[in-house]
Amino acid sequence: MFHRRPVLATAAVLTALAAALAPGATAGAAPAGQGAGPQAVAPPGGAAARADVNGDGYADVVVSTGARLTYAGDPNTLGVDRGGSVYVIPGGGSLPTAPAVVVSQDSHDFVPGSGEDDDTFGQALATGDFNGDGLADVAIGNPTESFGTKLGVGMVTVLYGRTTSPYLGLIPNTLTQIDQGQPGVPGDNEAGDRFGASLAVGDFNADGYADLAIGQPGEAVGTTQRAGAVTVVYGGTHGLTATGSVGYTQDTAGLNGTPETDDRFGWSLAAGDVTGDARDDLVVGASGEAVAGTTDAWGGVWLLPGSASGVDPATSSSFSVASTGTQDHLRSVAVGKFHGGAYADVLVTADRKKGAPQYAGALVVARGGSDGVSASRLQTLDQSSPGIAGTPEENDFFAGSLAVGDLDGDGYDDLAAGSLREDNVGSVTLLRGGTAGLLSATGTTVTEDTPAIGASAQPGEGFGYGLRILDVTGDGTPELLVTAPWEDGSLQSGALFRLSVTATAGSLTVTSATSTTRGTLGGGSAFGPATPFAGGTVVTLDTNQQPQLSKG
């Protein structure tokens, strides 16, 4: 548990929080200093964005298999897939350009632990260059890992990029297994902590090494159960080490709120430069945060700025579900420069707008600024918004998965948002960034029936469960990667689509597609590619079962 005491932070001074949390806020004008055009938007790069695991000059795909999404006891999840497994798929002109590698707790001697039926190895994934050698490294969350009789403690496995197959391995003097029993890592291993349920990579101190944020939404703070916590572990020449790692809760000085039962602070994490100071900032979501005076809605989001010394909670900002116009829970978070300029925006998925059908899905956009985020700069979108196709329907799960990147090379980030159960087949909506943010152009929605894809949508395939925007071909233009974990109605086949996207008449259009399944990937898994991708959000329906409506 985390004892109720403040965590010391740096004394760097940024502009104070612009406005107190207030219900009913709507999208406002750009914050002071926010430019209208794409100036100051740099192409992806740096240690935190690195995705080339094997060093051949092409970004590689790291994505979980479908093993973790099946029900416990499925005989097909025995062997290498037991408890979850992860693909490393070499990038290049085609996917895969070489046989994929499957990594699990039973696949290679260098992976710590062993697969168990109740493990969820690969529920969270992240890539970044933790040791500065130019290769992307991989962090793998397993939040239900047990330690002895303590169930659901959780751990994170960190494997380092290599130029030869299996493309991952160990380096000396670093943390390969991160858990709260490791010396120097804050907290203690306790049942139900769910350490590693969410992950985010950013360079929070701008030292050129990627750092790792780890969510543990089940963490107790004092005697307050499932209040939640986040641990930040910093990179360096030896990769990730416990030296300087820090834990944060709502009891940390500078963070708004109080630890309460079932807040689940750390449910979701993201990183990006929201404050415009050339350092990554940390975004933390709490899916169960209760707000006084608000009924039938839970959730809060915090922005912890980066600084020369790392994450700085003393200058944090936040907003709650009370200001979003949504109902039930806030879920995943993401970051992108959808308006251009120096400040990234924060995205939050929600179960639905107020009054919309259950689990219809909604997306909250929080404008960034030098003051972080504010309840006065929020906009909430769903399938009833202008330019977004479809109608909010029960169990659509619009924005249940997200991927961010500049698909058309105009200097603004674009968004791919999965509607996980749209028409029981799944769809993906493409929203183009611009001076008006994600409503700058009419959105485009695609399914497997879209002519450029031509795969024939079938019930239950889950097209859009996994999303990633990444230049895997090395031509300078990112592609959109989409998975359908249950392609053709099979629990095991899985499909990975690589979509080429361009801007046509102002909107994003899919022009061509290729696909691959388990049978052509290789690697030895009994399951195809699923979700999440490293670099995509943790999907709302991680277990293919309805999430809880009540707190938690």
Instruction: Select the more confidently predicted residue: 11 or 62.
Output: 62
430-445: average pLDDT? 96
| Distance of alpha carbon 353 from alpha carbon 523, whole angstroms | 42
Q: What is the pLDDT of residues 208-235, one digit of tens each?
A: 999 999 999 999 999 999 999 999 999 9
Give pLDDT, residue 19.
31
Model confidence at 492, in pLDDT bands (50, 70, 90)? confident
Beta strand segments in 273-397, E: 281-286, 297-298, 300-304, 317-320, 326-336, 345-353, 362-366, 378-381
Burial class from Cβ neighbours inside 10 Å (0-12, 13-18, 19+) for residue 30 reads middle
| Distance of alpha carbon 538 from alpha carbon 443, whole angstroms | 23
Give pLDDT, residue 48.
84
DSSP SS3 for 80: helix
| Distance of alpha carbon 209 from alpha carbon 529, whole angstroms | 29
Phi, psi at 300, each rounded to 5°: -150, 160
DSSP SS3 for 410: coil
Q: 185, 250, 177: which is closest to 220 by C-alpha?
A: 250
Q: What is the DSSP letter of 220?
A: -
Tokens 């239950």 — which residue?
Answer: 460
Tokens for 467? 């999303």
Distances, alpha carbon 271 to alpha carbons 13, 21, 56, 379, 546, in Å: 20, 22, 26, 20, 27
> Percent of the chain beyond pLDDT 70?
88
Give pLDDT, residue 74.
64
Model confidence at 24, in pLDDT bands (50, 70, 90)? very low
DSSP SS3 for 487: helix
Give pLDDT, residue 124.
96
Q: What is the DSSP letter of 209?
A: S
Give pLDDT, residue 73.
55
Q: What is the pLDDT of residues 95-130, one digit of tens each?
A: 889 999 999 999 999 999 999 988 999 999 999 999
| Distance of alpha carbon 504 from alpha carbon 21, whole angstroms | 40
The radius of gyration of the chain's CA atoms, rounded to the nearest angstrom, is 21
| Distance of alpha carbon 509 from alpha carbon 215, whole angstroms | 36
Tokens for 117? 């039926």
Q: Which helix (H) or strand (E) covers residue 521, if one does?
A: helix 518-521
Q: Which amino acid is at 440?
A: S
| Distance of alpha carbon 530 from alpha carbon 39, whole angstroms | 36
| Distance of alpha carbon 487 from alpha carbon 507, whole angstroms | 28
Tokens for 119? 């493990």
Helices (H) then strands (E): counts for the chain: 1, 30
Give pLDDT, residue 16.
30
Q: 74-80 contacts: CB < 8 A, separation 24 or more?
A: 74/491, 76/491, 76/492, 76/526, 76/527, 77/117, 77/526, 77/527, 79/106, 79/526, 80/104, 80/106, 80/107, 80/115, 80/524, 80/525, 80/526
C-alpha neighbours within 13 Å on the C-beta side of residue 153: 19
2-19: average pLDDT? 34
Q: Which amino acid is at 154?
A: G
Give pLDDT, residue 543.
59
Model confidence at 13, in pLDDT bands (50, 70, 90)? very low
Give pLDDT, residue 480.
98
**Cβ neighbours of residue 275 closer than 8 Å, sequence gap 6 or more:** 14, 281, 303, 305, 306, 343, 368, 369, 370, 371, 372
Tokens for 184? 């120097």
| Distance of alpha carbon 75 from alpha carbon 64, whole angstroms | 18
Phi, psi at 179, each rounded to 5°: -150, 170
Q: Cis check for the bond before 166: say yes or no (omega within 30 of 0).
A: yes
Q: What is the DSSP letter of 241?
A: -
pTM of the model: 0.91
Give the number of other CB atoms < 10 A from CB of residue 15.
15
411-426: average pLDDT? 96
Q: pLDDT at residue 6 above 50? A: no
| Distance of alpha carbon 461 from alpha carbon 292, whole angstroms | 40
- What does the DSSP assignment read for 192-243? T--BTSEEEEE-TT-SSS-EEEEEETT--BTTBTT-BEEEEE---TTSS-ST
| Distance of alpha carbon 109 from alpha carbon 107, whole angstroms | 7
Q: What is the pLDDT of residues 148-172, one digit of tens each?
A: 999 999 999 999 999 999 999 999 9
Give pLDDT, residue 28.
36
Query: What is the chain's percent helix, strand, coil content, to nearest 5?
Result: 5, 30, 60
| 201 touches 259 (CB < 8 A) | no
| Distance of alpha carbon 430 from alpha carbon 307, whole angstroms | 33
Give pLDDT, residue 78.
76
Tokens for 535? 């670099």
Instruction: Select the more confidently predicted residue: 552 or 543.
Output: 543
| 473 touches 93 (CB < 8 A) | yes
Tokens 């059908």 — which residue?
Answer: 357
Give pLDDT, residue 30.
40
**Cβ neighbours of residue 499 closer than 8 Å, sequence gap 6 or more:** 446, 452, 453, 479, 480, 481, 482, 510, 512, 513
Q: What is the pLDDT of residues 443-471, one digit of tens each?
A: 999 999 999 999 999 999 999 999 999 99
Q: What is the pLDDT of residues 285-344, one digit of tens each?
A: 999 999 999 999 999 999 999 999 999 999 999 999 999 999 999 999 999 999 999 999
